[in-house]
Amino acid sequence: MNLTDTPDNENSLNPFLRLNYEPALESLGNDYYDEVVAADFPQHILRWRNDSLLPLLGLNAKAVTDADFINAFGKFQGRKPLLALRYHGYQFGEYNPNLGDGRGFLYGQVRATDGELYDFGTKGSGRTPYSRGGDGMLTLKGGLREVLAAEALHQLGVKTSRCLTMIETGLSLWRGDEPSPTRSSVMVRVNSSHIRFGTFERLHYFQRPDLIQKLLDHVIEYYYRHLMGKPDQYVLFYAELVQRVAELVAQWMAAGFCHAVLNTDNMSITGESFDYGPYAFIPTYDPYFTAAYFDYYSRYCYSHQPSICQLNLELLQEPLKAIIDKTEMEVALGRFNKYYLAEYRSLMLKKLGFEQLEFPEADELLKLTIHFLQDSQVGYHQFFSEMARTFSPKWRDEPGMVLNNSHIAPALGTSNLFDNWCVLYHKILNNFHPEQMDIIAQTLAQQNPQTVLLRPVIESIWEPIAQEDNWQPFNDLVNKIQSKL
Ligand code: AMP
Ligand code: MG
């Protein structure tokens, strides 16, 4: 730990400065990053602290003050070096060699109580050599949206980064996609790694197979440790990454989540979801639902996510082929669909109440559910949350009982598909014993929270903040999400 810049012993008492930091990336040498300094902000108002993450860091929430958050992550007192990471990436299909951490840096890497190493990465902490024309800042609404996305996805079982804190920083920012001037924030996220596909792509661009080898060994040592030292560790790494990414996309799809910016610089080498900008949860099952207003050709629309991630994995073969046999990587990538479909099937059956994956009509139910959701355009999340809210063992008695007390039934009227769906669901329930209805009810409730982060919900908590600086609705929403209500 480096405690330079410490004006007094206040910082050395800050629990965030006394964590088990490891200079993992730093030890690779400065081919991978630039040392930067954080912006000096006119104001620091703590808007969010994720106390639920503190035990993972070995901290007791009661022993951490708001000032500790502000001093560590708003004023950036007492920690060096702060590293802007270097990377490139394919953005909307075009290779961009002018990338890198443009408004964030790696604050530090911490060995947590689960034995894993986590990155603390900032967003909105000032300009870096990679800011290009940007101001290096994050809007308050942008920070708040990332906090909410990460918590909601985490509760839905998606392997995701989390936000540790968000601090309002007192600047006025100008943005094309928000009424401006708009307020600023700095956000700190915790994730397994900020090494991206694009980190490797940059090294390939500069024709540095030596640095690719070093980085790959580092990734295996820290994030695929069980493969270390195996004779075929490199191809096993790629094969496992394919599986992790395929399962991650399946988690997004089941959660009804559209990431919106699946550029290779937003793809983590650990297969974890992170960096939430113009994302959206889908209102209805629309394969072409597109979340980013600047995604003119719907490249990253909801239903393209599996094939885009597969393509990104294929692009990663270019830098990796310096180390790993290309044919073997192609074989491994050929398993993407198998992994994706198995995970998606299992998650969707759980959303429908079934932990047990093998029963007659399981696949027919999945198909009919998607067909019905797409045809009816009933709310995707509403459908599942209404199932959870109104499920009754009586549904086993006759098809007319299924969803009969829900808000969606009257709106659907005499839809044939809905009737067919109810008949099938009723029939499937009759494969199970009456005593098993409780388990189905529990699974439905567990998988389908009532609180859904649809855009109007985010707008409804943003309005009171924008109008009267009222944070109560935001705090209530996060509490509900974290409590799986
Ligand atoms: P993103 O779309 O958030 O993944 O960002 C893409 C790239 O643009 C990353 O290299 C960011 O660091 C950079 N970037 C985005 N917004 C800004 C900004 N306001 N100032 C500087 N760099 C930015
Ligand atoms: Mg990004």
* Position 411 pLDDT exceeds 50: yes
Which residues are marked as active site?
265
- For residue 191, CA distances in Å to 245, 354, 432 come to 15, 31, 41
Which amino acid is located at 324 in the chain? I
CA of 103 to the centre of ligand 1 (A): 6
What is the predicted pLDDT for the residue at 9?
A: 60
Measure the CA dihedral 73/47/271/193, to 10°: 0
* Position 3 pLDDT exceeds 60: no
Question: Which residues, including other chains, have CB under 8 Å from residue 284's CB and lie 6 or more apart?
Answer: 373, 377, 378, 379, 380
Cβ atoms within 10 A of the Cβ of 375, count? 13
The answer to whether the CB of 50 falls within 8 A of the CB of 163 is: yes
Closest ligand relative to 278 C-alpha: 1
Residue 216 burial by Cβ neighbours in a 10 Å radius (0-12, 13-18, 19+): buried
d(CA 289, CA 46): 35
Sign, CA torsion 434/438/441/446:
negative
What average pLDDT score do residues 379-397 get? 98
d(CA 65, CA 16): 10
DSSP-derived letter for residue 16 is: G
Proportion of the chain above pLDDT 70, given as a percent: 98
What average pLDDT score do residues 228-248 get? 98
* Position 210 pLDDT exceeds 60: yes
Give the atom of ligand 1 at the shortest distance from the alpha carbon of 101.
12
- Segment holding 428, helix H or strand E: helix 416-429
CA of 443 to the centre of ligand 2 (A): 35
What is the predicted pLDDT for the residue at 1?
A: 40
DSSP-derived letter for residue 158 is: -
What average pLDDT score do residues 181-207 get? 98
CA of 156 to the centre of ligand 2 (A): 22
Q: Which residue has the tokens 């998650």?
A: 347
Average pLDDT, rounded, for the chain: 96
What is the predicted pLDDT for the residue at 7?
A: 54
Query: Each residue of 26-66: pLDDT tens digit?
Result: 999 999 999 999 999 999 999 999 999 999 999 999 999 99
Question: Which residues, including other chains, have CB under 8 Å from residue 376's CB and lie 6 or more apart?
Answer: 412, 415, 417, 418
> Which of the residue ranges 324-338, 356-370, 436-450, 463-477 would you say has the lowest mean pLDDT?
356-370
What is the predicted pLDDT for the residue at 403?
A: 96
Query: Each residue of 131-182: pLDDT tens digit?
Result: 999 999 999 999 999 999 999 999 999 999 999 999 999 999 999 999 999 9
Give the atom of ligand 1 at the shortest distance from the alpha carbon of 135.
20
Kindly list the protein residues whose Cβ atom lies closer than 6 A to any atom of ligand 1. 99-103, 130-131, 134-137, 261, 266, 275, 277
What is the predicted pLDDT for the residue at 271?
A: 98
Question: Which parts of 273-361 fold into alpha helices (H)?
Answer: 305-320, 326-333, 336-351
- What tokens were used for 67? 């000032």
Measure the CA dihedral 289/295/300/304, to 10°: 60
Q: Evaluate the omega torsion of the peptide bond into residue 231 and state whether it is cis, within 30 degrees of 0.
A: no
CA of 279 to the centre of ligand 1 (A): 15
Residue 440 burial by Cβ neighbours in a 10 Å radius (0-12, 13-18, 19+): buried
Question: Which parts of 230-335 fold into alpha helices (H)?
Answer: 233-255, 305-320, 326-333
Give the atom of ligand 1 at the shortest distance from the alpha carbon of 263.
4
